Structure 1
Amino acid sequence: MKIYNKLVRDKIPQIIEGDGKKCDIRIASKGEQAELLENKLQEEVNEFIEDKNIEELADIMEVLFGLAKNLGFSEKELIKKRDEKKDERGGFEEGIVLKKVLD
């Protein structure tokens, strides 16, 4: 038996049971979900830093959507805000490094 005590995607219990195993789950309160999502974000960022693949980036995105929902925002609102900020301040495509600002 392996103990996890961490937030997992919604279909993980069915996937585990589909593999012929049993699992013990509980539903976190909304307040607890915020902390669990923050922990999950750190976990997924660490996995991306180690593996550097699109699957880990997708996992980070899913956690961000979960955090937005927990704060009362939709995926659409999060993407809209991202687009607004990109239009106003740009993205990170050019690799610009700010060395200093002179007075």
Structure 2
Amino acid sequence: MIEVKIGTRDVEREREREREREREREERERERERERERERERERGRGRERESVRARERERERERERERERERERERERERERERERERERESERETRTHIHPFFSRR
């Protein structure tokens, strides 16, 4: 009779230990799942961060390209201005020559 009770208590203690191990296993699994979820969140965050970094880099590159284009346009404008200046000088020389020439021919 006593052995049965001890045996019953042993069975109860064993069942209790098994339930405790099961709770611990479930808790570890929930913790692993929470950790996986946090990792997914970090990855999504890094993905958004990487995307925003790439977007900012693309925007900076577009701005640099616009600046290069403005600089090329300014250079073309300076070249056109130099060409107009050369043309004015040539025109002035032609006028001078045409004015000088009749003067000499009248003498």
> Quick one: higher RCO (CA 8 Å, sep 6+), 1 or 2?
1
Q: Which has the larger radius of gyration?
A: 2
TM-score between both structures, scaled by the size of structure 2: 0.21
TM-score between both structures, scaled by the size of structure 1: 0.22
**Structure (1/2) with the larger helix percentage:** 2
